[in-house]
Structure 1
Amino acid sequence: MNIDWAALGSVFGVSLVITVALVTLFTLGVVGLTKKESARGAAAGLAATGAYACFAACAAAVAYGIFLIMS
């Protein structure tokens, strides 16, 4: 058995970057919803919009991952 260490390292690196990016996006979404509760007026709407955009990006990344697994 021969292991392609370069490919394994590449998969590990991409997985690490994507995981950190998704966790960061989700965290920003939670922070945005928290700021929405304490903000007033236009700032509350902007915080909510940003939070929902972060959650939508997370959902899109997960859906894309599932699509890659299924194909």
Structure 2
Amino acid sequence: MQATAYTYDSDSRCGSVLLDDGTPISFDAPAFDAGGLRLLRPGQRVRIEVESEGEGEGTALRITLVTLQTL
């Protein structure tokens, strides 16, 4: 899935992305570390992998990997 980097804190290695429909999703340090990145700037296109948390209407997405989108 593709998204756009929205926020990133280099100290905590946490941040958030915006899906193409404008939905924000946060990621934690393990998801950032899994992608092998060292830095992320707002506005960069990224590829994310997600898993669902919960069931039904309350289902939330949790990012498990953030890496740069390459063509």
Q: TM-score, normalised by structure 2?
A: 0.21
More strand by share: 2
Higher Rg:
1
More helix by share: 1
